Amino acid sequence: DYTKLDKIIIGVCGGDGIGPAITGQAQRVLEYLLKKEVDSGKVEFRVIDGLTIERRAAEMAAIPPAVLNELKECHVILKGPTTTPRKGDEWPNVESANVAMRKELDLFANVRPVRIPEQGIDWTFFRENTEGAYAVGSKGVHVDENLGVDFTVVTTQGCERIIRAAFEFAKSNGKKRVTAVTKANIIKTTDGKFLDTFKEIGKEYPDIIADDWYIDIMTAKLVDEKRRRDFEVLVLPNLYGDILTDEAAEFQGGVGTAGSANLGKRYSMFEAIHGSAPRMVTEGRDIYADPCSVIRAGAMLLAHIGHNEEADKLYKALDICTITEKKLVITGRDTGATSAAFADYIMETIENMN
C-alpha cells in the first residue's frame, strides 16, 4: 500500500529513440497532477537516463548493473521504449532490456487494458510476463549449422500467479468472465500446464465464467464486432499476450494509444506498448512524437499508487484530447503539434475541469 509510505520514488526511465522525449512530457503531466506531493516531498521524480542502446551495447548488458540498482531504488517506474537489437542490426546482440527488466524486477503480470466505450469493448489482458517463450532469451541452441532449437519454459507457480491475478481482478471489478488463450492442443506441455492450472483455479471462482480458446481462432474472434464484446478479462502465456494485445490495441486506435502495467510483488513499471522509432530521432522528428501512450501509462501509474482522483482526471483529459475534441492529437511535423504542445493541451484540459 503506497499511501502508507513516507515518500514514493517514481523513476522516469526514458529508454531509446523517441523515449526520452515522450516520457519527459509524461513526467511534466504527472508533476503537474502531483504538485502538492512533490512540493511537500511525499513524491520524488527521479530521471534514470542510462538505459540506452549505446550504453547497453558498450557494456554488453541487457540492463547495465548500475542502472538496475537505480531502478531498484524506485517504488514505481515510468519507462520509455527500448530498442531490441538482433543479428544484422547496427547493434550487437544484447538481450531485450524490456524482457530483462520484467525478469529482474519479477514483474510477472503485464496488464493491458483496451477500451472502446462506443462499441461496448472493455478488455483487460493479463499477459504472463516472465517465462514461456521469453524464458530463455538468446540461449536457444544451434545444435549444428542446420538445426536450431528454442525452448518454452513454464512453472506451475508462474501460471498460478498470473491466473490468480486475473481472477482476483475480475472479482474485485465485478467482471463476469475470464478467458484463457493457449494453443494447448499443440504446445501440450507448457500451454497444457497453463490451461490445466486455469481450469483448477477457475473452480475457486464459481461466480465467474472461465472459458478458453486457442490463440489462432482468438485472433479471429477479436475481429468479429458482435462476439468480441463478450470478452472481459483475458489471461495468456507470454507470447500470445504479446501478439493478441497488439491486435486488440489496433481496434482502440493503434499500439500508440495503449498503456501497459508491469506488476510484481515488490516493483511495478508502466510503459507504452509501441517501439522506440529511432528513425524519428535521426530525422529530427522526435519532438513531434505522440506521447499519448506513455501518458496513458502514467495514468495507470497514478491509479496504482493510490492517486485515483488524479488518474481519473488524466484518463478523462486523454479521452477529451484524443476522442472528443481531436484538436492537437495528431502530433507531427505536418500539423506543427509537438509532444510538448500535446502535454500542454492535456494540462490545460485538466485545469479547465477544476
**Nearer residue to ligand IPM within complex by CB, 186 or 330:** 186
Is residue 185 at the binding interface for ligand IPM, with CB under 6 A as the rule? yes
Complex with ligand IPM: residue 8 or 289, whichever CB lies closer: 289
Tell me the C-alpha distance between 79 and 243, whole Å: 21
220 binds a copy of itself, rule: CB under 8 A: yes
Q: Which helix (H) or strand (E) holds 11?
A: strand 8-13
For 223-274, give the secondary structure using H, E and C: CCCCHHHHCCEEEECHHHHHHHHHHHHHHHCCHHHCEEEEECCCCEEEEECC
Q: Return the range that interacts with a copy of itself (CB under 8 A); candidates 78-86, 201-209, 293-301, 304-312.
A: 78-86
Choose the binding region for ligand IPM from 17-25, 92-100, 144-152, 222-230 (rule: CB under 6 A).
92-100
The reply to whether 133 sits near a copy of itself by the rule CB under 8 A is: yes
**Of residues 289, 294, 347, the one with CA closest to residue 316:** 347
212 or 232: CB nearest a copy of itself: 212
Report the distance separating Cα 302 and Cα 280, nearest Å.
29
Interface stretch with a copy of itself, choices 17-25, 48-56, 132-140, 309-317 (CB under 8 A): 132-140
Among 107, 162, 273, 300, binds ligand IPM (CB under 6 A): 273
Interacting residues of 222 by C-beta distance below 8 A, sequence separation 6+: 228, 231, 244, 247, 248, 251
Least spacing, CB of residue 192 vs a copy of itself, in Å: 6
**φ, ψ dihedrals at 243, nearest 5°:** -70, -50
Range in contact with a copy of itself (rule: CB under 8 A) among 55-63, 66-74, 139-147, 170-178: 139-147
Let me know if 136 is exposed, middle or buried by CB neighbors in 10 A (0-12, 13-18, 19+).
middle
CA atoms of 241 and 165, how far apart (whole Å)? 15
Site for a copy of itself (CB under 8 A): which residue of 69, 156, 308, 335?
A: 156
Applying the rule CB under 8 A, the residues between 221 and 240 that interact with a copy of itself are 221-224, 239
d(CA 179, CA 164): 12
Is 186 among the residues that bind ligand IPM (CB under 6 A)? yes
Of the candidate spans 47-55, 93-101, 158-166, 294-302, the one that interacts with ligand IPM by CB under 6 A turns out to be 93-101
Of residues 246-265, which lie at the interface with a copy of itself (CB under 8 A)? 246-247, 249-251, 254-255
Amino acid identity of residue 234, one-letter, is: L
Site residues for ligand IPM, window 119-158 (CB under 6 A)? none
Examine residue 218 and tell whether it contacts ligand IPM (CB under 6 A). Answer: no
| Contact of 328 with 322, CB cutoff 8 Å | no
Q: Which is nearer to a copy of itself, 8 or 51 (CB)?
A: 51
State yes or no: residue 99 binds ligand IPM (CB under 6 A): yes
Q: Find cell 517465462 and name the residue.
A: 131
Is residue 233 within 8 A of residue 168, CB to CB? The reply is no
Partners of 268 in beta bridges: 76, 263
Residues that bind ligand IPM (CB under 6 A): 84, 96, 98-99, 185-186, 216, 242, 273
Residues that bind a copy of itself (CB under 8 A): 84-88, 93, 96, 99, 133-134, 137-138, 140-142, 145-157, 183-193, 195-196, 199, 215-217, 219-224, 239, 242-247, 249-251, 254-255
